[in-house]
Amino acid sequence: MGQHWANLLICAGTGCVACGALKVKAALEEEIKKHNLQDEIKIVLTGCNGFCAKGPLMIVYPDGIFYQILTPQNIPLLVEEHLLKGQPVKDLMYTPPGEKEPIPLMNDIPFFSHQVLLALRNRGLIDAESIDEYIARDGYLGVAKALFEMTPKEIIQTVKDSGLRGRGGAGFPTGLKWEFCAKAKGDIKYILCNGDEGDPGAFMDRSILEADPHAVLEGMIIGAKAIGAHKGYIYVRAEYPLAVERLGIAIDQATKYGLLGKDILGSGFDFEIEIYQGAGAFVCGEETALMISIEGRRGMPRPRPPFPAHKGLWQKPSVLNNVETFANIPQIILNGAKWYANFGTEKSKGTKVFALTGAVNNIGLIEVPMGIPLRKIIYDIGGGIQDRRKFKAVQIGGPSGGCIPESLLDIPVDFESITQTGAIMGSGGMVVMDETTCMVGIAKFFLEFTQDESCGKCPPCRVGTKVMLDILDNLTSGEGKEGDIERLEELAMTIRETALCGLGNTAPNPVLTTIKYFRDEYEAHIKEKRCPSRSCTPLLKFEVNIEMCKKCGKCVKVCPVDAIAWEKKQPAQINKEKCIYCKTCLRTCQFYAIE
């Protein structure tokens, strides 16, 4: 056997580490040493592989065999069978829901095969803490081209021609933003990266920073050259310790290699990057609030104009893009604008990274071409809904987004189409909901988040969202009244039109879209004091429907307080004095016999 005849790539993103990836690595090292295979097998810790639902994960190269849900106890068998005998272990491979045979090769698994990787091109393939592995994958060739073969105007024109739009939520043309700043007067300019990812269920930026930090640094260097900046900041929330650590390592390595600092690669261009850790305020994802936070003040949005391209950080011309946007830049410069523009749609070029979460089987990080049907994401990549339940809605755009119903599952996922539904693309959160989800409760959940995260500077957001939340509280507790829906709509439109920043402007979106597509649920809460999804506890009776009860006794076994009485061949009965309304019986009963 030759040197390193096999590379074992273990996912070491936050999710897999939390599930025990490092223990799996330790067990592998022990077994490899036991069989004296140290010179023939190399273990590599990568960033997030993407298939988060199946971690800890490992890929065996060059075979391409994909192993999932590994434990230290699996390792002796895996080493014995696969690495010594050449017989891959089927029991440790991925088997699609409803299928009997596993899929050995990663690239054949539907979760991966339907994706197109641009921003995530190095996902799960390289050691995130090795600049050499990044360079081996054409890393920093884009910087070399930009510094030695292109003028700032040519860089900007290439980005404009590519059609790249900001991936942080608003979708503003990236090249146009750079052009505004490049033309602004000022000897000092700044380029900033927004890694302050705060949407519930979102982990796109974190995963990119953990898996491929050098791609972000390279994109920032190119952007700095384009606008004439010599100082950059990466704003990352402190709750992302692994991302911060790997970013710090990447900056040190790039500086040591002459890719950051003075006279980069002998080009005469100077540029340095500093990490700024945010305290976790959602509002600091707004560009002016983020800049004020870096200045050391409380992060609160300010009116625009003046726009940051003219007066940004410390009143100097500044450009702010998010992590995913910068990760795309090196490939656009290296391969050209036409190459990138071939992906996506006429108005939404390229790909989009999403954090696919919720009631879907294949939870994880995905990258898909713009224009892909939403149904394909949910069912082909996502593997459908958990527990064979029915799809109900998908929340896109986080707390600033909206809920898209089943009737719109065939819409293309691009900026224009998503906006027409009443939702927004946002930074890439995609939360799937099944039939057990109460849409009034979902609207309340997201509004609670935005109301809590409001900086309080402007009355429409500070007061208006609180009044809306009070109405939703009444609806979910059985105290809703006629006219509440109309009041919610009126308040929502007022807040949307008068709030100071994007957080307030978009905060009503979850309420407006759930009213638009699920108005019947709001009416049931008001007129019948009933929650159709059986989610709002104050509206539940906790009684057994004798006609629907199959007398199986499963509800009795799961009740934590013995509040359910049952005898064989008899329907169950609930003792309301003992019942603590935990809804365990509701979730267990497959026959909807509990009301």
Task: Dump pLDDT digits (tens) for 522-555.
Answer: 999 999 999 998 888 888 878 888 888 888 888 8
SS (H, E, C) 333-401: HHHCHHHHHCCECCCCECEEEEEEEECECCCEEEEEECCCEHHHHHHHHCCCEHHHCCEEEEEECHHHC
Confidence of residue 3 (pLDDT cuts 50, 70, 90): very low
The residue among 347, 329, 397 whose CA lies nearest residue 193 is 329
pLDDT (mean) for 6-35: 95
Q: What is the pLDDT of residue 232?
A: 97
pLDDT (mean) for 204-222: 96
Q: How far apart are CA 385 and CA 391, in angstroms?
A: 6
Q: How far is CA 590 from CA 309, 461, 492, 556, 587, in A?
A: 57, 42, 38, 13, 8
pLDDT of residue 283 exceeding 90 = no
Q: Which residues are bridge partners to 318 per DSSP?
A: 190
pLDDT (mean) for 117-146: 96
Give all domains of the chain, ordered by start, each with its CATH number.
Answer: 6-108 (3.40.30.10), 131-341 (3.40.50.11540), 351-434 (3.10.20.600), 439-528 (1.20.1440.230), 541-595 (3.30.70.20)
pLDDT (mean) for 464-493: 95
Q: What is the pLDDT of residues 514-523, one digit of tens each?
A: 999 999 999 9
pLDDT (mean) for 578-593: 84
Q: Which residues are bridge partners to 236 per DSSP?
A: 195, 277
pLDDT (mean) for 265-279: 96
How many C-beta neighbours within 10 Å does residue 187 have? 8
Q: What is the pLDDT of residue 540?
A: 83
Contact 356, 363 (CB under 8 A): yes
Residue 96 buriedness (CB in 10 A; 0-12 / 13-18 / 19+): middle
The residue among 418, 433, 419, 402 whose CA lies nearest residue 511 is 402
- Give Cα 275 to chain centroid, integer Å: 21
Strands (E), 139-286: 190-195, 231-237, 272-278
Q: What is the pLDDT of residues 435-448, one digit of tens each?
A: 999 999 999 999 99
pLDDT of residue 123 exceeding 50 = yes
The residue to which tokens 């109309």 are assigned = 486
CA atoms within 13 A on the CB side of 465: 32
Q: What is the pLDDT of residue 275?
A: 97
Confidence of residue 198 (pLDDT cuts 50, 70, 90): confident
Confidence of residue 4 (pLDDT cuts 50, 70, 90): low
Q: What is the pLDDT of residue 588?
A: 84
For the record, the structure tokens of 140 come out as 């920093």
What is the DSSP code string of 194-208?
EE---STT--HHHHH
pLDDT of residue 1 exceeding 60 = no
Q: What are phi and psi of 150, to 5 degrees?
A: -135, 145
pTM reported for the whole predicted model: 0.92
Q: What is the pLDDT of residues 413-471, one digit of tens each?
A: 999 999 999 888 888 889 999 999 999 999 999 999 988 888 888 899 899 999 999 99
Residue-wise over 481-501: b if at least 16 C-beta within 10 A, else e?
eeebbeebeebbeebbeebbb
Report helix, strand or coil for 122.
coil
Q: What is the pLDDT of residue 541?
A: 79
Peptide bond into 373 cis (omega under 30): no
Q: Average the pLDDT over each of 66-80, 373-387, 454-468 and give the range with the smallest value.
A: 454-468
pLDDT of residue 142 exceeding 80 = yes
Contact 20, 56 (CB under 8 A): yes
Q: How far apart are CA 75 and CA 31, in angstroms?
A: 7
